[in-house]
Amino acid sequence: MANLFNDLFSYEFIIRAIIVGGLVALCAALLGVSLVLKRYSMIGDGLSHVAFGALSVAVACNLTPLYVAIPVVIIAAFALLKISDNSKIKSDAAIGLISTVSIAIGVIVIALSKGMNTDLYSYMFGSILAMTDVDVILSIVLSICVLVIFILFYNKIFAVTFDENFTKATGTKAGVFNLILSILTAITIVIGMRIMGTMLISSLIIFPSLTAMRVCKTFKTVVITSGIVSVICLFFGIVLSYVFSVPTGACIVLTNAIMFLIFSIFKR
Amino acid sequence: MKILSCENVSIYYDDVKAIQNITFDVDEGEYVCILGENGSGKSTLIRGILGLEKLESGEIKFLNGTNKNQIGYLPQQTIVQKNFPASVFEVVLSGFLNNKGFKPFYNKKEKELAIQNMKKVEIEDLKNTSYKELSGGQQQRVLLARALCSSKKLLVLDEPITGLDPVITNKMYKLIKDLNKQGMTIIMVSHDIHFAIKNASKIIHIKNKLIFNGTAQEYEKSDIGKTFLGGCNHG
């Protein structure tokens, strides 16, 4: 066991993955509690598809992927929240539309440029090898921003999650906090996609909070437990991926699923 | 002193005309009961006043220095909330947010006030209990305590006694009446017409349109009031 960890920590890319992944997992778990309770779970999924579209365009145009993806995904997140607020198209349908259109654009752009290269493949299914130094620094800075903003707005995020109408009716600008929530979610998803991949990133948002809600009864304990569970699952996911030489994102989803089962049994 | 005026307010849901051309005022310190049958647009009117529904036409204004962060609101419960993992204390405290501006955390005074308000509705022993484990009536009281935390001037209640047993119902009515005596303006949607006549200073009866606006005594004597009172007795 000690040998395993010695081996593991001798690789720089694994240490990077644990640091960036841990931070992203923490952000995703905290935001996830609110998103799941607001019935916005699938927004994470939709946004990751939008990010894929944006990334393929960025790669085709030779731009830095994160610089293109983050603003595009923030706009998409805002649009999705707006649509679910006041339109006749229900939000689940809206997410379906936006995510398939994004994937379609992505696939066409890829076909027109030079075909699926490794970089895009890594965005689809995640890779801990894909991160450059710039990615690592940017990811760390952004996730710390997300965490700080989340803590500062924690009480307000609770209020708009629990009862948006009440906050609006009593003079708090609920829209602003929804916007903050969607920006934070967008940033977290774009950063997390490098490790988890487009297809799997939404599990980081959904699983930890559902796991925490199996046993915890108050918002604060759900948020804290969710964060801890998420980081633990990410770590063991990376370990599993290293030991069995299988894709990291998939391992992280499985460790999350196992944790969910354990908590469900523990609840009884 | 007028604190609220509604002028020719209409609210439509797609093609359904929920309320049409409703005009009335609320003075400071009044106790207003909004009566009407199911589907008559009572809750819609309340939601319109609070800015939660888009007005088709007309205007709703808060006057004489009244603004929205002096309002307490007890909504009808939504399905999402019923299974929400939150402690009673967390929910009640969230009532203070409308006066916090950019300050991120609650201070000691607010926590003490929250506990006082919980005592008023007799839920102080449930402080750390999870909201989703409470009965409907207890949840209702938690939301009332939250409304008390946010209201400085105006308390808006949408069917406040839903799910409460008779003993608690009377206590809640007394609490609301006491608050009113201390100067709080009350706007309440209710089914309980006998209670309304006994306690309210003003009755507004709507059936998608305004069909009565006047004092409780006038209402009792009016044709519409008599019909409605009779109907309730037999019902």
Q: Where are the domains of chain A?
A: 2-267
CA neighbor of B97 nearest in space, from A218, A161, A145: A161
CATH number of A2-267: 1.10.3470.10
Which residues are within 8 A (CB) of A93 and not within 5 positions of it... i.e. 6 or more apart? none
Within a 10 A sphere around the Cβ of A187, how many other Cβ atoms? 25
Residue A206 has pLDDT above 90, yes or no: yes
d(CA B86, nearest CA chain A) in Å: 4
The tens-digit pLDDT sequence of chain B (235 residues) is 888 888 888 888 877 888 888 888 898 999 999 988 888 888 889 889 988 888 888 888 888 877 888 889 988 876 667 778 999 999 999 999 887 777 888 889 899 999 998 988 888 899 889 998 888 888 888 999 999 998 888 999 988 877 778 888 888 888 889 889 988 999 999 877 888 888 888 989 888 888 888 888 888 888 887 777 775 544 3
Encoding tokens for residue B219?
């209402």
Domains held by chain B: number:
1
Give B-chain residues touching A165 at CB under 8 angstroms: 47, 50, 52, 73, 75, 78
Evaluate whether B45 touches B206 at the Cβ level (below 8 Å): yes
For residue B235, tell me if it sits in a domain: yes
Tokens of B153: 């001037």
Distance CA B16, CA B19 (A): 9
**Segments forming the whole domain that contains residue B32:** 1-66+176-235
Rounded distance, CA B12 to CA B22, Å? 13
Comparing CA positions, the residue from A78, A67, A82, A71 lying closest to residue A132 is A67
Identify the sign of the CA torsion A78, A84, A86, A89. Answer: positive
| Interface mutation target, options A148, A170, A210, A224, chain B, most CBs of B under 10 Å | A170
Q: Is residue B183 in a domain?
A: yes
DSSP readout, B149-195?
HH-SSEEEEESTTTT--HHHHHHHHHHHHHHHHTT-EEEEE-S-HHH
User: If you compute the radius of gyration of chain B from its CA atoms, what whole number of angstroms results?
Assistant: 18
Which strands, in side-by-side order, build the sheet including B209-214?
A: B71-74, B154-158, B185-189, B31-35, B202-207, B209-214
- Residue A47 · residue A98 · CB < 8 Å: no
Q: Is residue B27 part of a domain?
A: yes
CA distance A73 to chain B (A): 26
**Does residue B142 lie in a domain region?**
no
CA distance B206 to chain A (A): 22
Question: ipTM of the predicted structure?
Answer: 0.85
Using the beta-carbon criterion (under 8 Å), do A219 and B85 form an inter-chain contact? yes
Contact A170 B73 (CB under 8 A): yes
Give dist(CA A83, CA A89) in Å, integer: 7
CATH number, residue B5: 3.40.50.300
Residue B60 sits at φ, ψ, to 5 deg, of -120, 125
Handedness of CA A95, A224, B87, B136 (dihedral sign): positive
